[in-house]
Amino acid sequence: MKNLFSVEGRVVVMTGACGVLGSTIVGHFAEQGAKVVMLDLERTRPIAEELIANIEAAGGEACFLATDVMDKAILEQNYADIMARYGRIDVLLNAAGGNMPRATVSPEQTIFDLDVDAVKFCTDLNLYGTILPTMVFARAMAEQRSGSIINFASESALRPLTRVAGYGVAKAAVVNWTKYLCAELAQKFGAGLRVNAIAPGFLLTNQNRTLLTNPDGSLTARSHTILAHTPFGRFLEPEELLGTLQWLASDASKAVTGTVAVVDGGFDAFSI
């Protein structure tokens, strides 16, 4: 019987591929037989080289291209390189992004202290850093009449979280863009083109370590509040996103587009 969840032989392009989540995700897709193209900033090349060595040692296929998701000219060059090498793109994971300490409002500050330039940069990276790669790489999908795009949203896109002002605004816009794009792609290029978002809950990663842990490694008051509001009572592990991502990338989600897959141990559903 055909494996509905198979991604074998698919060309999977991931931005932010050398980050905490990306490093786990690219290894998984390569292990599942996908050809993985890792896109990230030039400075992450050493991380990429180590990931590729591990993937190749396990019999998988991956390559790295330096990029900047906010620079369309560089993305165009990436596109040309990918098309020359594989001739198609089946899955686009828009994971480049993240929170920025300067775009937050600390407990000692108020909204009148907000650094608007930092909020703009955060929006540029998370929102336009999703829109621009899609404008470039989805051209292959439009020609193929097939492809799955997965945008990285966040818990803060669904309900605003205190402090992370800029990040929440940007990720909420990513969700709106995902829903908008679902109709745009399907109506103009057919039902083979899909776009969804994943909204990961709280993971303890480098991105949020200063918000969630004290210098001595103990949990902050904010962490205790989060865990008290999470039915699972714990932070999630990056590996716990893999099944949902593979589902969205594969034919198993053939009729799923414009949705946000919430993977959060129950945080968003929980009231009291």
Ligand X SMILES: NC(=O)c1ccc[n+]([C@@H]2O[C@H](COP(=O)([O-])OP(=O)(O)OC[C@H]3O[C@@H](n4cnc5c(N)ncnc54)[C@H](O)[C@@H]3O)[C@@H](O)[C@H]2O)c1
CB of 40 or CB of 115, closer to ligand X: 40
Shortest spacing between CB 51 and ligand X, in angstroms: 11
> Are 248 and 150 contacting, i.e. CB atoms less than 8 angstroms apart?
yes
Among 27, 60, 166, 200, binds ligand X (CB under 6 A): 200
Work out whether 21 is an interface residue with ligand X (CB under 6 A): yes
Cα distances (Å, whole numbers) of residue 224 to 212, 221, 240 = 9, 5, 21
Among 14, 26, 51, 96, binds ligand X (CB under 6 A): 96
C-alpha of 23 from chain center:
12
> Are 153 and 135 contacting, i.e. CB atoms less than 8 angstroms apart?
no
Q: Which of residues 150-169 bind ligand X (CB under 6 A)?
A: 152, 154
C-alpha of 50 from chain center:
21
CB of 20 or CB of 30, closer to ligand X: 20
Among 176, 205, 213, 259, binds ligand X (CB under 6 A): 205
Among 37, 55, 82, 95, binds ligand X (CB under 6 A): 95
Work out whether 32 is an interface residue with ligand X (CB under 6 A): no
Stretch that binds ligand X, among 2-10, 53-61, 109-117, 204-212 (CB under 6 A): 204-212
Work out whether 62 is an interface residue with ligand X (CB under 6 A): no
Q: Write the DSSP assignment of 140-167 as a string of letters.
A: HHHHHT-EEEEEE--HHHHSPPSS-HHH
- The sign of the torsion formed by the CA atoms of 203, 208, 213, 219 equals negative
Shortest spacing between CB 59 and ligand X, in angstroms: 25
- Find the catalytic residue in 86, 128, 167, 180: 167
Q: Using only the alpha carbons of the chain, give its radius of gyration.
A: 18
Q: Which of 83, 188, 199, 93 is nearest to 148 (CA)?
A: 93
Q: What angle (nearest 5°) sits at the alpha carbon of residue 89, between those of residues 86 and 91?
A: 135
Q: CA dihedral defined by 103, 107, 109, 112, rounded to 10 degrees? A: 70
Binding residues with ligand X: total (CB under 6 A): 28
Stretch that binds ligand X, among 5-13, 102-110, 202-210, 249-257 (CB under 6 A): 202-210
Facing residues of 151 across strands?
A: 94, 197
Helices (H) and strands (E) counted in the chain, each on its own, are 10, 7
User: Is 167 noted as a catalytic residue in this protein?
Assistant: yes
Among 63, 70, 83, 256, binds ligand X (CB under 6 A): 70
Work out whether 207 is an interface residue with ligand X (CB under 6 A): yes
What's the first-to-final CA gap in the chain, in angstroms?
A: 44
CB of 67 or CB of 250, closer to ligand X: 67
Among 10, 13, 14, 19, binds ligand X (CB under 6 A): 19
User: Which positions are annotated as active-site residues?
Assistant: 167
Q: By the criterion CB under 6 A, which residues form the site for ligand X? A: 15-16, 18-22, 40-41, 44, 67-70, 95-98, 125, 129, 152, 154, 200, 203, 205-208
